[in-house]
Chain A
Amino acid sequence: MNIPVYLYAWISLDTSRTPPVLGWGSGSWQAVERPTTKAANLACDAAQALMAGVASTLRDGSGLFIGTTTGSLHDDIIFDNSRTTDGGQYPSPNAFRRTLPSTIATELTMDLGLHGPVVVYAAGAASAVVACVRGVEYIRRGMVPLAIVGGIEVWNEALPGGVAPAHVSADAATTAQPQVSPERCQLVLVCIGPAELPGAQRPMGEFTQARLGGSNIHSPTSVDCSLQTLVNFLVAGQGQLVVDGAVGIQAWLELQRR
């Protein structure tokens, strides 16, 4: 089976910026309106917008293929604090429930009612693009009728690249943007599917190539800079994206505008 795979819509968010929505690939969207601050909630809002109008029969079996480098580190720190304060008497079960790299992906399944395959990938600086390539492959082989692919990173002031809450909200304070999160969250979510997608808008482009390659494992992993290169690629709306994940993987995506 070799089903053609199309790009239907995408959303990119970075809560350290004002406004946080960097790009929106289909129609209009009122950013994130609810006064939520959690990265998972922002991801759910974004995914809901991507799936708006998609027939429920398709949505139900949709796949979710998400890349992440930092995984649940932000939530690991929260749980670790709960278990190491007060003599370790009160480790928080609610905090522990969030300490898996797959946590946000599974919250997306709950929020959107997705019952299809979920796979979370880590491949250094190629994580998000690896997730996209694998998602395209799962559709191409007829394994899922539709997929949300992309990458999600949640930062913490303790991490390089993370921004302390005071700094995150500096711009927001002057413009009173309630959607700016104390967790710095970067995400790119992309809706992909085959040609016939009842309820969806016209596709923006076709993935003419999506493949993984290998290389020598050669250097320490860097964080997932593929989120930004993926955004640039989606904004361009066509062309080729090649990322090197520094864990022995290269990922290629080629998009042709429709």
Chain B
Amino acid sequence: MPNSDHAMEIVTSAAVTPEFASINALWNTWQTGHQAQHHATSPPSAANWHHLVASVLQQTLGHVRDAPHCALILATAKGNIANIEEWMANLRQGKNAGQLPELMSDSLNIVGRKFGLGGPCYVVSTACTSGLTALIEARELIASGVVSEVIVVAADTITGFTRDGFKSLKALTQITCRPFDKNRDGLALGSAAAACLLRRFDPGTPPQRTVSVIGWGIAADAMHRTAPDRAAGGLIRAIRSALSMARLEPQSIDAVVLHGTGTRYNDQMEATAMRELFSHRPALSGLKGLIGHTLGAAGLIETLLAGQCLTTGIVPPMVGLQLTEYPDLNLVMQPGPARPIKHLLKTASGFGGLNAAVILAHTVPP
């Protein structure tokens, strides 16, 4: 695996949810470990989806140096599902025949054309790993010399379609999302959009510590349409690939921001992977108790907040966790003091047995 192309940095990031207007607001609340009152309350309108995407995209644009060559990757599990749902409702009434709803690339077209970005522009959709996979794609576009700058946007909104689907799978919590808790009973859904600008490091600028993606892995369980591999085979493979690419031993990982949905099977699978790979018990945390499961946006929004852990040295608590089912794991339950964090692992898993992992570092680029 190549390792000579670490010289790229996450220049700026943005995030918005129905409850939090900025990445700083999210970070400040995460540090307290408190749960927000919310989930799946965003108005399910097509305009809302466009608004979410445009607002985070706009926040990154000011940092772009070369817009005519800047690439744009949109990560989403369902695209503008509010529009599709509306289209399907019309279809049931005999309207719409012969017309398409807003497909994923239409969404990119509608939002992206306002901003004058001229580089490659496409959508990545790999269920709940979409955000992380898109970040990996962006890194690879830069590493292979296609472009020097990429904006990654990840967004999904929750509507009746999605809620009914997760309800049919009996995956939704009846109380509140409590990842890794003995009393956990499922996930909470949330809407979100996040964006970041990834740029090749400019050797002309003074050396300074920056957050970069130094390793990644993607692997498939190849087992089940929705349930994860109980033995965590795919996740372990993805993490091992990321470690290998970053040329790191497992004990170099200081902290992990887990997928942590709060479902029985997901958390059990992740616990298995952590035991298998990390005997040194790195700090484990997660965000879905705070913002819900934001589907295709989850991987990116959680990675960007994980970047804050690196720069501040603080690993906030696993939100929602009160009584751990896994006392052998170092799940963060209380806010703690800052300490040096050199390498952080972020994971995501999704329907169909998809798994992705990235290793973030806070270092001076080579």
| Chain A residues with a Cβ under 8 A of chain B | 1, 64, 69-71, 73, 76-77, 79-81, 83-84, 88, 91-93, 96-103, 105-107, 109-110, 112-124, 126-127, 130, 134, 137-138, 140-143, 158-160, 211-221, 223, 245-249
Contacts and interface: CB of A to CB of B under 8 A. Distances in A.
A122 B97 CA distance: 23
A158 B91 contact: yes
A141 B103 contact: no
Interface of B: 1-2, 68-69, 71-72, 77-79, 84-85, 88-89, 91-92, 96-101, 103-106, 108-109, 112-113, 117-127, 133, 137, 140-141, 143-144, 146, 160-161, 164-169, 218-226, 233-234, 237, 350-354
A249 B122 CA distance: 7
Contact of B220 (A96, A115, A130): A115
Contacts of B146: 137, 211-212
A122 B225 CA distance: 21
Nearest to A1: B2
B103 A221 contact: yes
Contact of B122 (A112, A130, A211, A218): A130
Given A109-B221, A121-B122, 14 more contacts: A64-B220, A76-B88, A97-B169, A97-B226, A98-B225, A100-B78, A100-B352, A101-B77, A110-B224, A114-B220, A114-B222, A116-B219, A143-B140, A248-B72
A81 B85 CA distance: 11
A102 B79 CA distance: 12
A100 B125 contact: yes
A244 to B, nearest CB: 12
A76 B112 contact: no
A93 B221 CA distance: 20
Contact of B144 (A70, A102, A141, A221): A141
B222 A245 contact: no
B28 to A, nearest CB: 33
A243 to B, nearest CB: 12
A43 to B, nearest CB: 14
A80 B88 contact: yes
Given A245-B105, A248-B117, A118 B220 contact: yes
B97 A84 contact: no
B119 A214 contact: yes
Contacts of B143: 141
Contact of B353 (A76, A88, A110, A121): A110
A247 B166 CA distance: 31
Given A96-B165, A142-B1, A247 B122 contact: yes
A248 B68 CA distance: 11
Nearest to B119: A214
A214 B69 CA distance: 7
B220 A106 contact: yes
Q: Which of B165, B166, B219, B234 has the most CB of A within 10 A?
A: B165
A102 B354 contact: yes
Q: Which of A71, A114, A115, A123 has the most CB of B within 10 A?
A: A115
A110 B223 contact: yes
Nearest to A103: B352
A64 to B, nearest CB: 8
A220 B91 contact: no
A215 B119 CA distance: 7
A106 B351 contact: yes
B109 A221 contact: yes
Contacts of A110: 222-225, 353
B352 A70 contact: no
Top 8 A-B pairs, shortest CB-CB distance: A106-B352, A248-B121, A96-B165, A117-B218, A217-B113, A123-B122, A122-B123, A214-B119
Nearest to B115: A217
A61 to B, nearest CB: 9
Contacts of B78: 99-100
Given A73-B84, A101-B104, A248 B354 contact: no
A73 B2 contact: no
A130 B122 CA distance: 9
A127 B105 contact: yes
Given A115-B233, A221-B105, A221-B109, A103 B118 contact: no
B215 to A, nearest CB: 12
Given A97-B226, A100-B351, A245-B105, A123 B123 contact: yes
Contacts of A141: 2, 140, 143-144
A207 B223 CA distance: 33
Contacts of B121: 123, 214, 217, 247-249
A84 B350 CA distance: 26
Nearest to A162: B98
Given A109-B352, A117-B218, A73 B103 contact: yes
A126 B108 CA distance: 14
A215 B352 CA distance: 34
A71 B164 contact: no
B112 A247 contact: yes
B96 A158 contact: yes
A99 B77 CA distance: 9
A120 B169 CA distance: 24
Given A69-B103, A141-B143, A220-B109, A96 B168 contact: yes
Q: Which of B91, B166, B225 has the most CB of A within 10 A?
A: B225
Contact of A119 (B104, B117, B120, B218): B218
A214 B146 CA distance: 10
Nearest to A60: B222
Given A116-B220, A137-B144, A248-B118, A217 B354 contact: no
A221 B92 CA distance: 24
A114 B206 CA distance: 44
